[in-house]
Amino acid sequence: MTITKNKVALIHYTLKDDTGEVLDSSEGREPLAFIQGIGNIIPGLEEKLEGKAVGDKIETVIGPEKAYGLRSDDNVHIVPLSSFQADGDEKLEVGMQVRVETNQGVSLADVSKIEGEEVTLDLNHPLAGETLHFNVEVVDVRDATREELDHGHAHGPGGHHHH
Ligand code: ZN
């Protein structure tokens, strides 16, 4: 069986940036489980994994346009410090991540600057603008269950767990 749309694939992967620094890896964890072809993983990786089978190993470089997109100033917002006062007693600091309401629902934003009463929030994905270097090994390919397709994600080891 090969990886095609609506198959569940399990992969081990290591992700490095341009400098060779490891950003993420499944080493020492369950392999990552995802449904192919529905956007569970970045488009560039779906493309490279299409048609691959168990045991296949790939090494690939994916530009930001097929990964997490380019950084955009539209995703940087200045909000008043007073809008955070209701969030309990934790002091707001640069580098913290906060939850914010956006048109697309709740999103994570980095606090990138605090100046007087103004807080700069960066909603760009942390990997926006990055070229990603992947080493991937396919460890399993199977049919997705009806429930998995309904939910839009893989279940079981390496996938989603519902309680
Ligand atoms: Zn589910």
> How far does the centroid of ligand 1 lie from the alpha carbon of residue 22, in Å?
29
* Contact in structure between 134 and 14 (CB atoms under 8 Å): yes
- Does residue 88 have a pLDDT over 70? no
Beta-carbon contacts of 130 under 8 Å, excluding residues fewer than 6 positions away, are 17, 18, 64, 67, 68
DSSP state of 160: B
> How far does the centroid of ligand 1 lie from the alpha carbon of residue 151, in Å?
5
Q: What global pTM score does this model have?
A: 0.81
> How far does the centroid of ligand 1 lie from the alpha carbon of residue 11, in Å?
19
pLDDT, position 107 = 84
| Mean pLDDT computed over every residue of the chain | 93
- Does residue 14 have a pLDDT over 60? yes
Residue 62: strand, helix, or coil: strand
> How far does the centroid of ligand 1 lie from the alpha carbon of residue 156, in Å?
9
Q: How confident is the model at residue 96 (pLDDT cuts 50, 70, 90)?
A: very high
Question: Mean of the pLDDT values across residues 40-56?
Answer: 98
> How far does the centroid of ligand 1 lie from the alpha carbon of residue 137, in Å?
24
Question: Mean of the pLDDT values across residues 13-28?
Answer: 96
> How far does the centroid of ligand 1 lie from the alpha carbon of residue 101, in Å?
24
pLDDT, position 106 = 87
- Does residue 32 have a pLDDT over 80? yes
Per-residue tokens: 151: 């939910």
> How far does the centroid of ligand 1 lie from the alpha carbon of residue 152, in Å?
7
Going from the N-terminus, what domains does the chain have, and what CATH number goes with each?
7-68+127-151 (3.10.50.40), 73-122 (2.40.10.330)
> How far does the centroid of ligand 1 lie from the alpha carbon of residue 125, in Å?
24
Going by C-alpha positions, the residue among 110, 111, 125 that lies closest to residue 69 is: 125
